[in-house]
Chain A
Amino acid sequence: QVQLQESGPGLVKPSETLSLTCTVSGDSFSTYYWSWIRQPPGKGLEWIGYIFYTGSTNYNPSLKSRVTISLDTSKIQFSLKLTSVTAADTAVYYCARHWGSGYYVDYWGQGTLVTVSS
């Protein structure tokens, strides 16, 4: 059974960098696409971007200038960095696995709330 777990600070100051890590267990990175998806309080889901096990990435153009997703295959972890955050970046951040060639999400982490506030 695949499990994903997000970790990182729950509070980030405006203009600073949000950094989260997703640890994967029960599977390897091979052949899958791994995403970060966020959900502002009371709102819908927003795809941030994904990384393929080869290291290639694809980001949402709305966030592309501020986002970096990377992976550490030895630790079976992938990470999110979002720079220059504002209150609008306050959200529950989920890491997720896509089935197949970047299709639907079949596994989600539990999510972690990140609040941007001074």
Chain B
Amino acid sequence: DIVMTQSPDSLAVSLGERATINCKSSQSVLYSSNNKNYLAWYQQKPGQPPKLLIYWASTRESGVPERFSGSGSGTDFTLTISSLQAEDVAVYSCQQYYSTPYTFGQGTKLEIK
């Protein structure tokens, strides 16, 4: 199984500041034949299902604000929120879909400082 490890486990950022969440996979999720990273990011608010934010490591889902961006390749990935808004308080999780069993990171809890 590919193990997904996020850091930090929790993060407190001031409104308007940048938030950065890291995700590391135990093996590469870059598929060489199409040069795509099989990595997604989800946002989950209390009592709600996860919401897709980013796929292919850096493609923003339709309707997701531009302040959310994804980067990285191979085994190291980053989700960045450029200017934190109050509604961004949530748990963020990465997921690899390179191979089954699909696996998720443990989640990073983002709060307002």
Bound form: Cα–Cα A94–B36 in Å: 27
Per the CB 8 Å criterion, the residue count for chain B at the interface is 22
Q: Interface residues of B: mostly helix, strand, loop or mixed? A: loop
Q: Of B15-23, B72-80, B82-90, B92-100, which stretch is located at the interface?
A: B92-100
**In contact, B104 and A47 (Cβ under 8 angstroms):** yes
Residue in A35, A94, A104 whose beta carbon sits within 8 Å of that of B49 in the complex: A94
Residue B52 lies at the interface, judged by CB distance under 8 Å to chain A: yes
**In contact, A45 and B95 (Cβ under 8 angstroms):** yes
Q: Of A9-17, A21-29, A69-77, A106-114, which stretch is located at the interface?
A: A106-114
Band of interface residues on A: 20 to 34
Which residues of chain A have C-beta atoms less than 8 A from B42's C-beta? 105
Residue A60 lies at the interface, judged by CB distance under 8 Å to chain B: yes
The A62-118 residues at the B interface (CB cut-off 8 A) are 62, 94, 98-99, 102-106, 108-111
Chain A residues with a Cβ under 8 A of chain B: 35, 43-47, 58, 60-62, 94, 98-99, 102-106, 108-111
